[in-house]
Amino acid sequence: MQKEKLVVEDFLSEAGVAVNGDNSRDISIYNDGFYKRVLGQGSLGLGESYMDGWWDCEKLDEFFNHVLRARLEKKIKNWRVVPALANAIVFNAGNYKRAFRIGENHYDIGNDLYKAMLDKRMVYTCGYWKTAKNLDEAQEDKLDLICRKINLKPGMKILDIGCGWGSFALFAAEKYGAHVTGITVSKEQVALGRDLCKGLPVDIQFKDYRDMEGEFDAIVSIGMFEHVGYKNYGTYMKKVHSLLKDDGVFLLHTIGGNKSDVSTDSWIDKYIFPGGMIPSIKQIGKSVENLFVMEDWHNFGTDYDKTLMAWFANFDSGWGNLKNNYDERFYRMWKYYLLASAGSFRARKNQLWQVVLTKHPENGYKRIY
């Protein structure tokens, strides 16, 4: 046990993190089994041991910011990444039969949780904080930014792939007079979204993108592409191409990675987003080749740090009411998810991209920011 402890302490010290230290980013260990568990199971062991109360940290977001900036995962050779990699290559995590699993495992866990955590419009994607002073403003500014980027006009037919609880559809219909069809693989999102959008020209459907038919003036995909899986990027883009009018605009809003991966973090895959995968510039570029013209590529990944911290503040302050439906282990899991993610964006390990694509360059698309 002493050997494993020294190894972990040595690695963490390279990131400026101490065990049982005085800084807010330092970690406190309550179970000495932590060291062997982390060295043997990697990120899965780190996350599960936190959920089990084996260790804690005053500021998890800063712990992950420091650890990820130091790229310690590249130095710990016996973390078990090979099985996860093999699983990603052999099994198609985003295939049709598994497509609805993410709805059941993540988005259907409880609308009360998301109502407490999110802004008043229930937008579960990165806000745009350029001039915003709070989460509500950041999300409204993001929705309006998307509407302006796709040149939204009254009466246009819009498809929202992965529409969530209908936040964009509601905004586009209310503010721009658009007719919006939204699709999601979450039954809970469909039920609440239809209620929120009642009386507006909005149709929210329980449907996978591969089953969609029709023709649309513009298509948006806001925070859904992370669930597609790298084996399906080409299929996804071909489907969008077939649904978009020749003079239409497609806006892809997605978390992005700095390198091309074919697997995801083992803890995130098990507890948060099963089958999720973050695309790279190269992977997106390959998927749109010979289909679309890339008109604009906008990165505001640092805004996701602010968004996640705002979500955690809401979640934490609302826990007094939520704990009647969720246990303490869930609280630690969700806290770990939100703050580890914030640290990841702060360290610039992950990005947030809005990519604008058209079918023909002669349409004369003009950037609006």
d(CA 236, CA 230): 10
Q: Which regions of the chain does DSSP assign to beta strands (E)? A: 27-29, 55-57, 157-161, 179-184, 202-206, 216-222, 244-257, 293-299, 350-358
Q: Quick one: pLDDT at residue 79?
A: 44
List the chain residues with pLDDT less than 70.
Answer: 1, 72-100, 102-103, 363, 369
Beta bridge partners of 39: none
Q: Quick one: pLDDT at residue 364?
A: 72
Q: Which domains does the chain have, with CATH numbers?
A: 2-80 (no CATH), 92-363 (3.40.50.150)
Q: Quick one: pLDDT at residue 73?
A: 59
Q: Quick one: pLDDT at residue 100?
A: 67
Which two structure tokens, joined as six digits, stand for 82?
């090979």
| 148-166 pLDDT tens trace | 999 999 999 999 999 999 9
Q: Is the pTM of this model over 0.85?
A: yes
What is the Cα 209 distance to its own chain's centre? Answer: 18
Q: Quick one: pLDDT at residue 90?
A: 42
Q: Are strands 55-57 and 27-29 parallel, antiparallel or unpaired?
A: antiparallel
d(CA 233, CA 262): 12
Q: Which long-range contacts (CB under 8 A, 24 or more apart) does 84-92 make?
A: 84/263, 84/264, 84/266, 84/269, 85/262, 85/263, 87/263, 88/262, 88/263, 88/264, 88/277, 89/262, 92/229, 92/231, 92/232
Q: Quick one: pLDDT at residue 106?
A: 83
| 50-103 pLDDT tens trace | 999 999 999 999 999 999 998 765 655 544 444 443 443 344 555 656 666 766
